[in-house]
Structure 1
Amino acid sequence: MTTEETGTGVATATRESKPAPDFDAIGIGAGFAGLALIHYLRKEGLSIRVFDRALDIGGTWSWNCYPGAATDSESYYYCLTFSKDLLQKWSWTKRYPGFEETQAYMRFVADECDMWPHIQLDTEIVKAEYLGELGYWRVTTDADETYTCRFLISGMGMISEPMIPKIEGLDRFEGPIFHSSRWPRGLDYAGKKIAVIGSGSTTVQLVPVLAEKAASVTVFQRTPNYILPAMQRPMTSEWEREIKENYDEIVEKCRNHAFGMAFDSPTGRTVADTPADEVQRVFEENWTGSFRWVFETFDDLLTNPEANRLASEFITRKMKEQVEDPEIADLVAPNVDDYPLFAKRPPLDHGYLSSLNRDNVTLVDIKEREPLEEITETGLRTTRKDYECDIIVLATGFKAYTGALEAFPIYGSDGQTLREKWERSSDSIMGVCVAGFPNLFIVTGPQAPFANLPTSIEQNVIWITRCLQKMQHEGYDVFKPRIEAEREWTAHTAEIHNQTLMAHGDEVNSWMMGANRDDKAPRVLIYFGGANAYYDKLDQSADEGFPELEFVKLNA
């Protein structure tokens, strides 16, 4: 739908009289999204400035620098794919790169593509407001500087805003206490007694490394996780050659996979149609590391409750085999009757389970056995005892998908902030646009898929670029997301969510439903219809001229 408008609430300034914006687009976040935006928008001749409050590029990998921090996607497809030349030039050193290597990769991309002039670091955006009379956005920085643009694009990521739990005495502890994603650079923890609150992916990566030098590591666990093996290994020259010779196929696999990964699935095989002994054989043969096990065994693990249960039982059995103390084994492994596999995002094991066999590692159940009461000057107090420590790490997750967008006021066309709009339900159009917020794009926002992030990011940025191409070529100044399209997408996302076993996430405080937050009710945050189907919908939308948006020409 297209219109030409004058009058109140839209725009009264003519093209000739209104001032030019500082940039065509402003991006927030200099991670994968920021780099992709620079590449694609610059290619269209659009000016762009990407702001980031960090001191270096890298997005989440400039913040998540805790010992052991690494990707859970395999390195060779955890990357941008817009340049075949870059795919051939860069060499990964291992199956799952640590934060240092991933950040080095992003610097390599910025160097090779001359992106640095478009990036402004150490600059936090503290306010954004839509200027209806101009059809522009104005952002304000922490230095009280303002910049204007036609299009504001959030590349802040889905897990960038830390979730700080409400625990009595947080400000009372006399030693270092911090969220894991704000790990102090250079922190000396050798010989220290360390408490880690939380037992998700961060803890699973962190504890084995801490335990090598710390005097003790005590993990305070609320909900046990199904933990899959990572099976880290170095990149060999033979493996790298095979990858680089087949990159076109790998990129195509990611584009057409339900979770955006280079996996060989669907398999055409289901547990329901497979003999019991054959099921176990397939499970065992595919126990080779990564999320491949879920997607390259059977196609019904996440939709068929009985298939999911068999998979869950197999995982818990494998977990317990690595833990010597039967009591600890029962504590760390979920009870399959409590929740299904993937209702919570499963971590990949880099030595966590075996680290529980160490004399200096302790696992404490704070859900049932001894709930956490408070933090004291010298440690933590549960209902049973006091635990003294020198350092407390809050590995308590993130305000996923919406947290970064709610951390500062973003005012739409009617003066409402995104935080206010999302108080009850985090509605969007395909996770990319929000009704009431013209000329605002979000890369991997709420109700987008949970998938290999570089794949989803690039698909989002391609859709955004095609939308801007249309506006440039056809002379439109503003796009307004249609509320009807937003309601339709939200209903569609909820309908699919309720058909999957992920709908149990609110029962186990899953961040994938925002159920880990104490400031909002759980809600549907993820499109579980398959990332490949989602990418198809993005392409269909662009091919049909973006029917979800109303395009406006300001009075010339």
Structure 2
Amino acid sequence: MRPDNEVLIVGAGFGGIGAAIEFASLGIDDVAIVEREDDLGGTWHVNHYPGLAVDIASVTYSYSFEPNPFWSRLFAPGPELKRYAEHVAEKYDLTRRMEFGTSVTGARWDDESGLWTVSTADGATRTCRYLVTATGFLSQPSTPDFPGMDTFTGTVLHTAAWDDSVDLTGRRVAVIGTGATAVQLIPEAAEVAAELTVFQRTPIWVVPKIDFPIPRAVQRLFARIPATQRAVRLVNTSLLEMLMVFGVLHFRQARLGNKAGALLARAHLRAQVSDADLRRRLTPHYDLGCKRPTFSNSYFRAYTRPNVTLETDGIGRIEPDAVVTGDGRRIEIDTLVLATGFDLWDTNFPAFEIVGRDQLSLGAWWRESRFQAYQGITMPRYPNLLSLNSPYSYSGLSYFTTIEGQMRHIGRLFGELRRRGASTFEVTGEANDAFLDEVTDHLADSVFYLGNCAGSHSYYFNHQGEAALLRPNATLTTLRAMDTFPLDDYRFH
């Protein structure tokens, strides 16, 4: 049977764009990209709250094969990432392949035809030979269900659905959450709000952010001599690699390095906050690396402003014009900001129902056995499925490391498909089991299992208590594996 599309990619963020570029390089032209939002860019289209910026230097947080010499700052603001996504999509002629406002609700494999049937929210179906899910790790917002939430009569904003028409100036604002998003938002809100109350469940490790405008002369140098920008990228990537490998993955061997990073964060807090009680409440009680640390020069200082209050007693209920704390105090507000992050494990693995061979639901299989994916991209009994946002797929601190590793995997896999004259691939159960054993063994040395992560409320951990998100390998090791995995790990038909 001839499918509607040879390849269907779900998601038009950087992951989906990278996969489409790889398929184009393989000469596969019949590629469609469906996206539930009204434009491309993924998280950099959806998020536009005040203070939005990358938390990885832009020379690293970008495709290595498509450098942008004109980043305005070392840590570029969010709108620049959105424009960069648009530039890449246009350059590689991908925009014409994109269909916006299309929400995928399910996909089902048919052994007889060797095709996936994909269902969308409008009731339509389409078929494809190869299905690629590029739905992102941070794509399903988490909305808390506090008692009385539905009675609040003021303005409610979620950082993943920001209303640009709302001005926080002069308002009495409550922010719920102190994760990486809140670290960027809170200093901006503190500057303009009449009163800002921050409700913190878990403090976050914050280290200084070495950020500055990139001079025009340097931008011109990067454009004229690309090797100079590649050198800067190499240095920055190496520093991030040291932080990830030695501070997180090899906690057993480099415990002192992890403690040194925590000391840096504590010194940063002490330099900005003189009040000992406030410092105590802002200091995490879990090891650095249990949840993703972040960078800021203004987050801690925001709490020293007279209009900002840190609340750590929890939330008892929401009233029409107030938040009532766990100990019964009533704080009047007119604006409620939910910086409550994203739901990874309940609604994002997978982001829609996927049914493979033997009518096996991917979500049910993951939850009834263990979260797993060979090389973080394929699963047995799910032929011709490439799941880019899977367990053990995230490599390094920059998402682009993950993307480019998966692009290499696609290139090697589809090159072998072509060489054999085959149309179907499926990873073997033996190869999948061996990879799961390997990553489980390597993670045994990590801060997740040897450090004190209790109370961190980290999205790295699933409900079974496994840190099943990060691939526990150095970047070069990951890229080499994606280039050289044994082809016999797959069955081809």
1:262 to 236, 240, 260: 236
| Shift in alpha-carbon separation, 1:74–1:182, aligned structure 2, 3 A | same
Answer yes or no: is 1:40 the counterpart of 2:22.
yes
Aligned to 2:172: 193
What residue identity is the alignment partner of 1:104? R
Gaps of 5+ in 1: 1-18, 266-290
SS of 1:114's partner is: coil
| Shift in alpha-carbon separation, 1:441–1:360, aligned structure 2, 3 A | same
Aligned to 1:494: 440
CA distance in 1, matches of 2:326, 2:52: 32
SS of 1:262's partner is: helix
Aligned to 1:81: 64
Answer yes or no: is 1:121 the counterpart of 2:100.
yes
SS of 1:24's partner is: strand
| Shift in alpha-carbon separation, 1:80–1:294, aligned structure 2, 3 A | closer
SS of 2:236's partner is: coil
SS of 2:386's partner is: strand
SS of 2:117's partner is: strand
1:417 to 357, 361, 382: 361
Q: CA deviation at 1:203?
A: 0.6
Answer yes or no: is 1:234 the counterpart of 2:178.
no
Q: CA deviation at 1:499?
A: 0.6
What residue identity is the alignment partner of 1:538? M
Q: CA deviation at 1:108?
A: 1.3
Answer yes or no: is 1:362 the counterpart of 2:309.
yes
Contact 1:320–1:329 under 8 Å retained in 2: yes
| Shift in alpha-carbon separation, 1:264–1:458, aligned structure 2, 3 A | closer
Contact 1:300–1:308 under 8 Å retained in 2: no
SS of 2:153's partner is: coil
CA distance in 2, matches of 1:301, 1:477: 40
Q: Which moved more, 1:94-103 or 1:236-245?
A: 236-245
Aligned to 2:332: 388
Q: CA deviation at 1:64?
A: 1.5
Contact 1:77–1:250 under 8 Å retained in 2: no
Answer yes or no: is 1:426 the counterpart of 2:400.
no
Identical aligned residues as a percent: 26
Q: TM-score, normalised by structure 1?
A: 0.81
Q: CA deviation at 1:506?
A: 5.0
1:17-56 aligned within 5 A: 19-46=1-28, 47-56=30-39
Aligned to 2:489: 548
Q: CA deviation at 1:206?
A: 0.3
Answer yes or no: is 1:374 the counterpart of 2:317.
yes
Cα deviation, 1:131-183, whole Å, max 9, x if unaligned, reads 22111111112222221111100111122222233432332322233432122
CA distance in 2, matches of 1:76, 1:443: 23
Aligned to 1:277: none
Contact 1:205–1:350 under 8 Å retained in 2: no
Contact 1:35–1:110 under 8 Å retained in 2: yes
Contact 2:448–2:467 under 8 Å retained in 1: no
Q: CA deviation at 1:252?
A: 8.3
The aligned length equals 486
Aligned to 1:57: 40
Q: CA deviation at 1:247?
A: 4.4
| Shift in alpha-carbon separation, 1:105–1:350, aligned structure 2, 3 A | farther
Gaps of 5+ in 2: none
Aligned to 1:13: none
Answer yes or no: is 1:323 the counterpart of 2:269.
no
Answer yes or no: is 1:70 the counterpart of 2:53.
yes
Aligned to 2:188: 209
Q: CA deviation at 1:188?
A: 2.5
| Shift in alpha-carbon separation, 1:371–1:123, aligned structure 2, 3 A | same
Q: TM-score, normalised by structure 2?
A: 0.91
SS of 2:414's partner is: helix
Q: CA deviation at 1:262?
A: 3.4
Q: CA deviation at 1:329?
A: 1.8
CA distance in 1, matches of 2:316, 2:295: 30
Q: Which moved more, 1:500-509 or 1:442-451?
A: 500-509
| Shift in alpha-carbon separation, 1:21–1:510, aligned structure 2, 3 A | same
Contact 1:431–1:445 under 8 Å retained in 2: yes
Answer yes or no: is 1:351 the counterpart of 2:298.
yes
CA distance in 1, matches of 2:257, 2:200: 27
| Shift in alpha-carbon separation, 1:388–1:233, aligned structure 2, 3 A | same
Contact 2:14–2:85 under 8 Å retained in 1: yes
| Shift in alpha-carbon separation, 1:531–1:486, aligned structure 2, 3 A | same
Cα deviation, 1:519-553, whole Å, max 9, x if unaligned, reads x3322222222232122211121xx42x322112x
| Shift in alpha-carbon separation, 1:292–1:192, aligned structure 2, 3 A | farther
CA distance in 1, matches of 2:111, 2:249: 49
Contact 1:506–1:513 under 8 Å retained in 2: no
Aligned to 1:269: none
Q: CA deviation at 1:346?
A: 0.5
Q: Which moved more, 1:245-254 or 1:206-215?
A: 245-254
CA distance in 1, matches of 2:396, 2:98: 27
